[in-house]
Structure 1
Amino acid sequence: MKLLLLLSVAVLGLAAAAPADDLRTLDHSPYPRYIQFPDGDGNMQDVDLEAEPDYELLNEITRNPANNLYLLYTRRNPRNPQTLVMNNANSITSSNFNRNLPTMVVAHGWLSNQKSSLNPVIRDAYLGIADANVIIIEWRRLAMSDYVTAVLGVPAVGRGLGQFLNFLHRTTGAPFDSMHLVGFSLGSHLVGNAGRELGGRVSRVTGLDPAGPLWVYNSNKINQNDARYVEGIHTDGGYLGLGIGDAIGNADFFPNGGKSQPGCLTGICDHNRAWELFAATVTHNHLIGRQCDNAWQITWNNCNGPEHRMGNSDLRKWGVGKYRLNTRRNYPF
């Protein structure tokens, strides 16, 4: 009886210590319980959307949300990163970080790390057009866990990123309106929460095909209040797609209808095309959408509203609405 009581207390204690972002936020409809979701190398992994999360890891992440790796690249060090450390001012002041340059933060997705393909591609696109502080956040401690655990921990990691950027601001005076946060898949919701932590003061948040499973009805997903301008780029948002098919920002783009992409035969390819298109727009600023009145116009390519450029690096960008554009199958699309 005593053992049973102790076990009950332990379970209740674990539940009490669990993050507020618990299973109650995870309505997996319209997805089935068992799905496949790609890792950072493009391999499909089996996912149980009702799996028991790793509460020990979630408690650790929640207690120390700043436990991420922040890697700085500039034109002075375009290939060899400098590590910036939360609450270590010397790591900032002794680095190549320049408060007078734009600061771009890139967040990878699930089962990924600093070496994932999107990071160098987006980094090189930014540094190819101008000098900037490009910071790659590696959150692999959580990203390498099971999908349900990763989803539950993303808000805390996002808050940690927001706290880091606030520390960067306090240490150097770098203004929030010179910051652009870009995330892919789960990383989209991560940067959304980072912007929310900062009260929506950063200039831009861009969600690259924000992850769909366990996010459709999740109050912690990226939204239009996370920055002065929030943009979504949706490339695999069809029925049970890997990305959210609905608008999440001030302006949302649906390349080729937002469900399947030219030259792609798999959902992985469609999903990844979001960051490929974005990187191309940073370099060329050439993809222009037409505003649509409804989903029917997006699907049937019948949008006739005002034009708006997708992606790019413009920190003063603004726009509202849903936009359709068509691309080619190969870079620069």
Structure 2
Amino acid sequence: MVDVFFNNWDNSGFNNSRPIDTSDPTYVIVHGYQSTGGNPDNNFTPQAWMSEMAENIRDLEGNDANILVVDWQDGADTLNYPAAADRVDDVGVEVANYLLDQGVNPADTTLIGHSLGAHVMGEAGEELRERSGEVDLLIGLDPAGPEFEGGWFSSANPTDDRLDPTDADRVVAFHTSSTLGYDDPLGDFDVYVNWDDWFQPGSWNFADNHSYAHTLYNDLLEGNQFPQNNGTIFSLSTVQNDSITGSKSVDTFAV
């Protein structure tokens, strides 16, 4: 069993004595491969993007939200990527168990995961749907491709072993890396970001492209909007709008 820690974000930092208020909406953020959400061994220090995202959500919601930053470094911090990928289901079940134990309402819950974390949240969403009710919104930030999308000698994982549209009422997937991310559509709404460019803004390698997904989502949470050449605007409301479905190409270089 992988050690999983659930850190409660208060204002500008963790406060694990803060109780879960089941009358408030709940946001859950989880990391991917070779990453951390904060645990006793690192003095509860999460990745910078996770802290930024938790604080951005707090700024949007005020004090009326539960914001959980999940750590599964015990299973993710290994050179053996396939082993980490094999732990996704177990971690997802642990996330679901925790939320159910806390009495959280799935219909008022948003799950957010990067890379392998996107598939963790897919499993969590599936568990919650089967045992309690459907999650409101699931955001997959460049869901991991290797070990999930198949290749020359293997087929793609079945939907119950990866993120898919049934894992929440609305599943949105950001695609920012064709090398490390899952290339085919995975959600109700799939956003292909700068898909014809070699590198994402501020990126110089494929790992940076992979990380751009959480950079972009933080930008959206902060209120940034991206005008498109066709006259539309890509913003947080685009992501949250249930009527916008299918696959969409987005250019964040456009002015």
TM-score (norm: length of structure 2): 0.82
Residue matched to 2:195 = 257
Residue matched to 1:105 = 28
Rounded to whole Å, the distance in 1 between the matches of 2:89 and 2:23 is 29
Q: Could you tell me whether the CA contact under 8 Å between 1:123 and 1:134 is conserved in 2?
A: yes
Deviation per CA, 1:195-231: give whole Å up to 9, x if none: 0001160101111001111110122110100000000
Cα separation, partners in 2 of 1:175 and 1:149, compared to 1, 3 Å: same
Within 5 Å, give how 1:12-91 maps onto structure 2.
60-61=1-2, 67-75=3-11, 78-82=12-16
Residue matched to 1:153 = 87
Deviation per CA, 1:2-40: give whole Å up to 9, x if none: xxxxxxxxxxxxxxxxxxxxxxxxxxxxxxxxxxxxxxx
Matched to 2:144, the amino acid is: A
Q: Could you tell me whether the CA contact under 8 Å between 2:112 and 2:140 is conserved in 1?
A: yes
Deviation per CA, 1:68-104: give whole Å up to 9, x if none: 10000134xx31331xxxxxxxxxxx63422232211
Cα separation, partners in 2 of 1:161 and 1:141, compared to 1, 3 Å: same
Q: Could you tell me whether the CA contact under 8 Å between 1:235 and 1:258 is conserved in 2?
A: no
The 3-state SS of whatever aligns with 2:166 is coil
Matched to 1:273, the amino acid is: Y
The 3-state SS of whatever aligns with 2:83 is helix
Within 5 Å, give how 1:275-290 maps onto structure 2.
275-284=214-223, 286-287=225-226
Matched to 2:185, the amino acid is: A
Within 5 Å, give how 1:188-199 maps onto structure 2.
188-199=118-129
Cα separation, partners in 2 of 1:322 and 1:315, compared to 1, 3 Å: closer
Shift of 1:310: 5.1
Q: Could you tell me whether the CA contact under 8 Å between 2:144 and 2:182 is conserved in 1?
A: yes
Q: Could you tell me whether the CA contact under 8 Å between 2:238 and 2:244 is conserved in 1?
A: no
Residue matched to 1:295 = none
Q: How many residues align?
A: 232
Shift of 1:117: 2.3
Is 2:108 the counterpart of 1:178?
A: yes
Cα separation, partners in 2 of 1:204 and 1:307, compared to 1, 3 Å: farther
Shift of 1:255: 1.4
Residue matched to 2:41 = none
Residue matched to 2:72 = 139
Residue matched to 1:119 = 50
The 3-state SS of whatever aligns with 1:161 is helix
**Identity across matched positions, percent:** 26
Residue matched to 2:152 = none
Matched to 2:163, the amino acid is: I
Cα separation, partners in 2 of 1:118 and 1:167, compared to 1, 3 Å: same
Two-structure CA RMSD over aligned residues (Å): 2.6
Specify every segment of 5 or more residues in structure 1 that has no aligned partner in the other structure, as ranges.
Answer: 1-59, 62-66, 83-93, 290-300
Matched to 1:242, the amino acid is: L
Specify every segment of 5 or more residues in structure 2 that has no aligned partner in the other structure, as ranges.
Answer: 38-45, 150-155
Matched to 1:139, the amino acid is: W
Rounded to whole Å, the distance in 1 between the matches of 2:238 and 2:91 is 24
Rounded to whole Å, the distance in 2 between the matches of 1:311 and 1:232 is 13
Matched to 1:154, the amino acid is: V
Matched to 1:230, the amino acid is: V
Is 2:252 the counterpart of 1:327?
A: yes
Matched to 1:319, the amino acid is: I
Which one has the largest radius of gyration?
1
The 3-state SS of whatever aligns with 1:198 is helix
Is 2:139 the counterpart of 1:214?
A: no
The 3-state SS of whatever aligns with 2:113 is strand
